[in-house]
Amino acid sequence: MKFREVITAVFLAATISSVRAAEYETGKLIEEVQCRHAQAQSYSYMLYLPTGYTLDREVEWPVLFVMGPEGGTEEGFRRYIRGAEKNSWIVAMSIQSKGDFARSREAVAAMMGDVFKRFAVDKKRCYAAGMSSGARMAFWLANERRQNIIGIIPCCAGDAGNRHRNQALAYGLCGGYSFTRWDMAVTFNKNIRYRGRLRFFEGGHIWADEDLIFDAITWLNGKYLAKKGASEEINRFSEMLFDEILKIYEDDIYFAYENAIVLAGVPKAPHADQARTIADKLEENPEIQLYIQGLKEMGEFVQKHFNTDANDFRNNRRTRQQKEDADALLELYAETPLARTIEDFGKSSK
């Protein structure tokens, strides 16, 4: 190929890349993207491209696929934006994935295929998330697309009845009196075990808030970067998370502690040592000590009362012993952010 032809080809490629990059605005919720493939045209998804998204970044972009119990909704989608923006993840949420499992599978497959074709994503670094039936879809997707999905964020639904063949990490979120708390406990004990974290929050069968979802995305991102992260990504992650820790340190020592532990776990991060120093200092704080002990005892409570059978919600709305143990815990941790969730442990499920 002649020099002039090479230059022309490079110019055209750059032009096409710029057009594709400008097709959707970054840093903004895109309400609907229609799948292009002829057989998938009845499917669409909501989209968020982080502010710094470009097609020519050396490291391709992680993508989080989200499924909701009622399809794609702005109320559900917006909970993922802060975590995605800070961690430089793309987010796509299926609009049609809901209820009907067969149609949901088609909708999710169409969404994934379209995202893979349109955007500069790392196909080996994808994540799945969802709430209720959407969480079950996330588990299904992790099994079906083991070559793509490396992490999941299930909210208020586990998948205790199925055998898991994947090695995806999982950060589970569940309302303290959700009727799925048994399912979540059994799933994480039986199928996930040492590959994840199960975190309960105040409330019933509802979406987790954006702060918890930020923690989940950041935790998963940190785990990946600690093992396989490129310098460019690690440095950006380090700057972002260290800045978040410093901003909130005085007002929310619990957030600061949780995320200092995450950052300290990425050895090559420029601020890893400083994060470790902050975590060590906070561990000397009686409030954090109580918080850590409270999390430990909540875990023991979950093992005792919810890690029984996923179907116990049908006949085990609340036992007397469960209520007594929850009340005893509440007395110990009434002054911590864990108190409302512990109180929910003693309630009948809904």
Q: Which residues pair with 171 in a beta bridge?
A: 197
- Please tell me whether the overall predicted TM-score, pTM, comes out greater than 0.95 for this model: no
* The one-letter amino acid at 342: I
Among the listed residues 53, 103, 97, 104, the one whose alpha carbon sits nearest the alpha carbon of residue 76: 97
Domains in the chain (CATH in brackets) are 27-228 (3.40.50.1820), 286-345 (no CATH)
Helices (H), 119-230: 133-144, 181-187, 210-228
Q: What does each of the 350 residues of the chain score in pLDDT, given as a tens digit?
A: 443 443 333 334 333 343 344 579 999 999 999 998 756 668 999 999 999 999 988 899 999 999 999 999 999 999 999 999 999 999 999 999 987 778 899 999 999 999 999 999 999 999 999 999 999 999 999 999 999 999 999 999 999 888 777 789 999 999 999 999 999 999 999 888 788 999 999 999 999 999 999 999 999 999 999 999 999 999 999 999 999 999 999 999 999 999 999 999 999 999 999 999 999 999 999 999 999 999 999 999 999 999 999 888 887 678 899 999 999 999 999 999 999 999 999 999 98
Q: How far apart are CA 332 and CA 215, in angstroms?
A: 25
**How, if at all, do strands 169-175 and 149-155 pair?**
parallel
